[in-house]
Amino acid sequence: MSDATTTPKSFQEIILRLQTYWAAQGCAVLQPYDMEVGAGTFHPATTLRSLGTKPWAAAYVQPSRRPTDGRYGENPNRLQHYYQYQVIIKPSPPNLQDLYLGSLAAIGIDLGLHDIRFVEDDWESPTLGAWGLGWEVWCDGMEVSQFTYFQQVGGHDCKPVSGELTYGLERLAMYVMGIDHVMEMPFNDPDSPIPLKYGDIFRQTEEEYSRHNFDGASTGMLLQHFKDAEAECERLLAFEPEDPKSGKRIIMAHPAYDQTIKASHLFNLLDARGVISVTERQAYIGRVRALAKKCADAFRLTEAGADL
Partner 1 sequence: MPDLLIELFSEEIPARMQGKAREDLRKLVTDGLVEAGLTYASAGAFSTPRRLVLSVEGLTAESRPVREERKGPSVSAPAQAIEGFLRSTGLTLDQLERRADRKGETFYAVVERPGRAASEIVAEVLETTIRTFPWPKSMRWGSGSLRWVRPLQSILCILSDEGGAHVVPLSVDGIEAGNTTEGHRFMGIGRFTVTGFDDYVVKLKRAKVVLDSAEREAAIWQGAQNLAFAAGMEVVPDPGLLTEVAGLVEWPVPLMGRISDDFLGLPPEVLQTSMKEHQKFFSVKNPRTGRIEGFVTVANIEAADGGEVILKGNQKVLAARLSDAKFFWENDLRVAKAGMGEWAEGLKAVTFHAKLGSQAERVERIATLAREIAPLVGADADDAERAARLAKLDLRSAMVGEFPELQGVMGRYYALEALQANPAPDLIRGLGEASGGPGSSPGRVSAIADAARDHWRPKGESDAVPTEPVSVAVALADKIDTLTGFWAIDEKPTGSKDPFALRRAALGVIRLVLGNGVRMHLVPVASDQMDLAIFDAIQGKFAVGEQRDALKRARMALAHAHSTTNLNRNAIATLQAEIKKLEDAAAKAELEREVATRFGHRDDQTSDLLSFFHDRLKVYLRDQGIRHDIIDACLAMPGNDDLTLLVKRAEALAAVMKTEDGANLIQGYKRAANILAQAEAKDGVEYSFGADPKFAETDEERALFAALDRAEAEIAPAMQAEDFPRAMAAMATLRAPIDAFFTAVQVNSDNEIIRRNRLNLLHRIRKVCSGVADLSRIEG
Q: Report the C-alpha gap between 106 and 23 in whole angstroms.
A: 12
> Which amino acid would we find at residue 252?
M
CB neighbours (10 Å) of residue 258?
20
At residue 118, the 3 state secondary structure works out as strand
Task: Assign residue 116 a region (left: φ > 0; alpha: ψ between -120 and 50; beta: otherwise).
Answer: beta
Strands 156-157 and 28-29: unpaired
Q: Which is nearer to partner 1, 137 or 237 (CB)?
A: 137
| 115 is an interface residue for partner 1 by CB under 8 A | yes
Q: How far is the CB of 181 from partner 1 (least distance, A)?
A: 11
Q: How far is the CB of 161 from partner 1 (least distance, A)?
A: 5
Indicate which single residue of 6, 193, 245, 278 sits in contact with partner 1 (rule: CB under 8 A). 278
CB contact at 8 A, 52 and 305 = yes
Phi, psi at residue 10, to the nearest 5°? -150, 165
Q: Which is nearer to partner 1, 263 or 296 (CB)?
A: 296
Burial 158-181 (b: 16+ CB within 10 A, else e): beebbbbbbbbbbbbbbbbbebee
Residues 118-137 that bind partner 1 (CB under 8 A): 118-120, 122, 132-135
Q: How far is the CB of 2 from partner 1 (least distance, A)?
A: 21
# of chain residues touching partner 1 (CB under 8 A): 37
| 116 is an interface residue for partner 1 by CB under 8 A | yes
| 6 is an interface residue for partner 1 by CB under 8 A | no
Quick one: which segment of 8-16, 234-242, 259-267, 277-285 binds partner 1 (CB under 8 A)? 277-285
At residue 155, the 3 state secondary structure works out as coil
Indicate which single residue of 46, 64, 84, 151 sits in contact with partner 1 (rule: CB under 8 A). 151
| 92 is an interface residue for partner 1 by CB under 8 A | yes
Q: Report the C-alpha gap between 120 and 147 in whole angstroms.
A: 10
| 91 is an interface residue for partner 1 by CB under 8 A | yes
Q: How far is the CB of 71 from partner 1 (least distance, A)?
A: 11
CB contact at 8 A, 95 and 165 = no
Residues 13-72 that bind partner 1 (CB under 8 A): none
CB contact at 8 A, 165 and 87 = yes
CA 129: distance to chain centroid? 15
Indicate which single residue of 23, 111, 201, 238 sits in contact with partner 1 (rule: CB under 8 A). 111
Q: How far is the CB of 24 from partner 1 (least distance, A)?
A: 21
Contacts with partner 1 by CB under 8 A lie at 76-77, 91-94, 97, 111-120, 122, 132-135, 139-142, 149, 151, 158-161, 163, 175, 277-279
